[in-house]
A and B are shown apart, each in its own frame.
Chain A
C-alpha cells in the first residue's frame, strides 16, 4: 500500500509541476492547486498510513499521528488562500497587461467573442 501511495503522490506532484511550467496563468494556478494537494498528501503520510485510527481519544487503541493532520489541516486552508491570491493576481495581470501569459509579454490573440466590460 505504501508503494502505491508514494507513486500516486509522485504522479500528482509531477502533474502539478508540469502545469506550473506552462506559459499561461490559469494552468499555472491549477498546477499550484494540484501541487498543494500532492504536498498535503505527502505531509499527511509523514505520520504513517493508519486504518481505523482516528485520533479521537477513547475510540480505539491505535491512533493515527494527529500532528501531521493538524498541520495539513491549516495547510489546506492556507493553500486555498494562496490559490485565490494567485488567480486574482492573474486576473489583475490580464486586466492591466491585456495578456494571460505568465511573463506578461505576449498579448492575447484577438478573440471575437470578447467585448470590453
Chain B
C-alpha cells in the first residue's frame, strides 16, 4: 500500500518539477523564474523525503532540512538583488 502511494507521490512531485522547469525556462519575467526556482526547492524537499521513505532510512532528512532553510535564503538573496541590486548594504 505504501509502495503505491509512494510511486503516485513520486510521479506528482516529478510532474511539479517538470512544470517548474518549464516556468524557469520560459519566464517570461525574472520574478517568474525566481518563483519557479523557489518552488523547485520546495519540491526537492518533497523528493528527498519521499526518497528517504522509499529507502526507509533517516540519513537524508538533514538534506531536506537544509534545503528548507537555505533555499529560502537563496531566494531572499535573489529577491533582494532584484529590489536593490546590492544584497548586503
Q: Mark A22-61, 1 if CB is under 8 A from B, else 0.
A: 0000000000000000000000000000011010100100
What residues on B are CB-neighbors of A59 within 8 Å? Answer: 57, 59
What residues on B are CB-neighbors of A56 within 8 Å? Answer: 59
Residue of A nearest to B55 (CB): A52
Q: Mark A58-88, 1 if CB is under 8 A from B, else 0.
A: 0100000000000000000000000000000
Q: Main SS of chain B's interface residues? A: loop
Residue of B nearest to A52 (CB): B55
Q: Main SS of chain A's interface residues? A: loop
Distance A54 CA – B55 CA, assembled complex (angstroms): 11
What residues on A are CB-neighbors of B55 within 8 Å? Answer: 51-52
Number of residues on chain B facing chain A (CB within 8 A): 3
Q: Mark B51-82, 1 if CB is under 8 A from A, else 0.
A: 00001010100000000000000000000000
What residues on B are CB-neighbors of A54 within 8 Å? Answer: 57, 59
Chain B, 8-62, CB within 8 A of any chain A CB: 55, 57, 59
What residues on A are CB-neighbors of B59 within 8 Å? Answer: 54, 56, 59
Distance A2 CA – B59 CA, assembled complex (angstroms): 24
Q: Shortest beta-carbon distance, B11 to chain A, in Å? A: 19
Distance A51 CA – B51 CA, assembled complex (angstroms): 11
Distance A95 CA – B55 CA, assembled complex (angstroms): 52
* Interface, chain B (partner A; CB < 8 A): 55, 57, 59
Provide 8 A-B residue pairs closer than 8 Å at the C-beta atoms, listed in order of the A residue: A51-B55, A52-B55, A52-B57, A54-B57, A54-B59, A56-B59, A59-B57, A59-B59
Closest 5 interchain pairs by CB?
Answer: A52-B55, A54-B59, A56-B59, A59-B57, A52-B57
New A-B contacts (6) at CB < 8 Å, excluding given A54-B59, A56-B59: A51-B55, A52-B55, A52-B57, A54-B57, A59-B57, A59-B59
